[in-house]
Amino acid sequence: MIENLWAGWRGRYLSSLSKRSSNEASDLRESGSDPSIFTAILRSGLPDEETYIVRRSDQVFVILNAYPYAVGHTMVLPYRQVADLDELSPDESHDLWRTVTFVCRAIRREYAPEGVNVGLNMGPASGGSVNEHLHVHVVPRWTGDTNFLSVTANAKAIPEALDVTAARLRAALRDIESSPEGA
């Protein structure tokens, strides 16, 4: 069992750090900071097949994670580079969550996982590696998908190439969207 160690004085210190981080992030946005890797991919002009973008809608796009936790690990992002859910327009928010739902359906249909993790990291302390561009992870999961490789060798075996995963998910998403229940 985990025991709690109370250190109430740390609250004031941590609050000052988050205010400072928030102000620094705001300053970067106002100064026109560098584009995120996702914005750079969108601006690259490369075809979706090369960038592993599997779906585009009016407000958001879906891209495979280049370093997946599992086969089918995708991310749903707004085109516009924003760092927080609060910065999304109502249309962007609606399209984002609608697309997350489509992606979950496509992953279930194509890979039959036993579960799906859906999550996002906001802010530098959240553990995300690209904090400046909001993205929702959709990760299929299977019982026992953590095995000796990840435990002893700090490595994962991903048994499908990204281009194969992209093709499978593109087809599943097209099928779902064209079906009466997908619209």
Phi/psi for 136 (5° steps) reads -105, 120
Fold of 34-178: HIT family, subunit A (3.30.428)
Distances (CA, A) of 159 to 49, 109, 136, 139, 156: 19, 18, 23, 15, 9
Which one-letter amino acid corresponds to residue 1? M
Report the alpha-carbon distance of residue 141 to residue 70 in Å, rounded.
7
End-to-end, the C-alpha distance of the chain in Å comes to 47
Q: What is the pLDDT of residue 96?
A: 98
Torsion (CA) 99, 105, 110, 113 in degrees, nearest 10: 120
Indicate which residue of 73, 133, 135, 137 is catalytic.
135
pLDDT in tens, the chain (183 residues): 555 554 555 455 545 554 544 444 444 444 356 899 999 999 999 999 999 999 999 999 999 999 888 899 999 999 999 999 999 999 999 999 999 999 999 999 999 999 999 999 888 888 778 889 999 999 999 887 765 555 555 666 778 899 999 999 999 999 998 887 665
User: For this structure, is 73 an active site residue?
Assistant: no
Where are the chain's structural domains? 34-178
Spatial neighbors of 73 by CB under 8 A, at least 6 apart, are: 64, 65, 137, 138, 139, 140
